[in-house]
Amino acid sequence: MKIKFDPAETKVAYTKNLHIFGPEVPVYSLPVSPKEGFIAAMKREPLWQVCDLESEMFCPRANPDNVARGFILDGSEHRLGDNGDGRDMFGVKWEYIEQAGGCMVRPGNPLLNDANEWVDKVVWPDVDSWGWEETAKTATVFLKREYANSCWFMNGWFERLLSFMNTEDALLALIDEDQKDAIKAMFDKLSDLYIKIVDKYIEYFPDIDYFFVHDDWGSQKSPFFSPETGAEILVPCMRKLTDHIHARGKFCELHSCGNIFKQIGNVCDAGWDTWSGQLMNDTQTLYEMYGDRIMMQVTPDLFDPSKLTIEEQRKMARAYCDKFCNPDKPSMFNGYGNEVMTEAYREELYIRSRINYCGSI
């Protein structure tokens, strides 16, 4: 579906907050709804350069992980930013850390000291017993909106392992010949569990458009483990979930913090539709390397808006679009670059990307 750009589209239709804690931003007179624009981009047929305003978070109370971490957004009274302090779906206790502004598992008393213990010590959740129907009473109305509904999945595979084990023991377990098979078996069972949860989500909240799965893999400087380990341990279990999500007609995004430049081949092999890299990742080079395999969220060249004229800001936006808004190799705008998103830059980004992707009337 290609709809040519009409200059009348730049009229501001309304303003909205960029996610729950974000600034107020303009929404133009789009040719389709933000949801439809987002879905078109995920199908690699974008109408404009999608950024953060086309989607909204959904974190239902029914999932104990969201309650434990104080990360609920489903139309109920409990909101994002609450302290959490509770037990997740595996009964692991999370605590609110004020300095970090979020929850974590207190180190020093791990559930597992050796990965081989998981069969005896891990108590698997009874997903059927969660409060699905109660949550759906408020969430059904909450999800009836014109934005793509992004269902956040807070703990992936490596992060789940970190909740079971102390960090150094978890990292060792990934490469220890005496523990690797146990990790693979546990991660495969995790995938089966996540598939069941995805099916419950779709049953009770059919308006979900995509799943946003967290699994941090890196520090400021480098990944926590090698690409070879990622390919052996994580790609197969991730692929099991992403294939299922796609079979259910939904999309999926991997949220993985840190410098994981060396792991993006694995992210592609694992079947994710898109990934947003933090600023320590050279997403522009990654676009050149992998942009034909994944909808890369490309960070713009950063600048200080106070030091550029309006026309210079527009020129920067045009240059970005001419490099990364190619209908044969499309991309998305990386929200980690939002500091350059002035009113002028945003408008020019929209105009130029609309023309590059679809042409102009």
> Is 1 domain-assigned?
no
Question: Does 218 have pLDDT greater than 90?
Answer: yes
- How many angstroms separate the CA atoms of 321 and 336, rounded? 17
Residue-level pLDDT at 22 = 77
> Is 2 domain-assigned?
no
> Is 226 domain-assigned?
yes
**What total number of domains does the chain contain?**
1
> Is 192 domain-assigned?
yes
> Is 14 domain-assigned?
yes
The pTM of the full predicted model, rounded to 2 decimals, is: 0.96
Q: Which of 157, 129, 281 is nearest to 213 (CA)?
A: 157
Question: Does 251 have pLDDT greater than 70?
Answer: yes
**Domain containing residue 301: CATH number:** 3.20.20.210
- Please list the alpha-helical segments (H only) found in the chain: 34-42, 64-68, 118-121, 132-142, 158-164, 167-175, 180-204, 227-229, 235-247, 264-269, 283-290, 310-324, 343-358
Confidence of residue 5 (pLDDT cuts 50, 70, 90): very high
Q: Write out pLDDT tens, residues 118-156.
A: 999 999 999 999 999 999 999 988 999 899 999 999 899
Residue-level pLDDT at 78 = 65
> Is 180 domain-assigned?
yes
What domain range includes position 222?
A: 7-358
Q: Write out pLDDT tens, residues 40-78.
A: 999 999 999 999 899 999 999 999 999 998 889 998 876
Question: Does 265 have pLDDT greater than 80?
Answer: yes
- How many angstroms separate the CA atoms of 250 and 202, rounded? 9
- How many angstroms separate the CA atoms of 163 and 112, rounded? 9
> Is 236 domain-assigned?
yes
Residue 96 identity: Y
Q: Using CB atoms within 10 A of its CB, is residue 351 exposed (0-12), middle (13-18) or buried (19+)?
A: buried
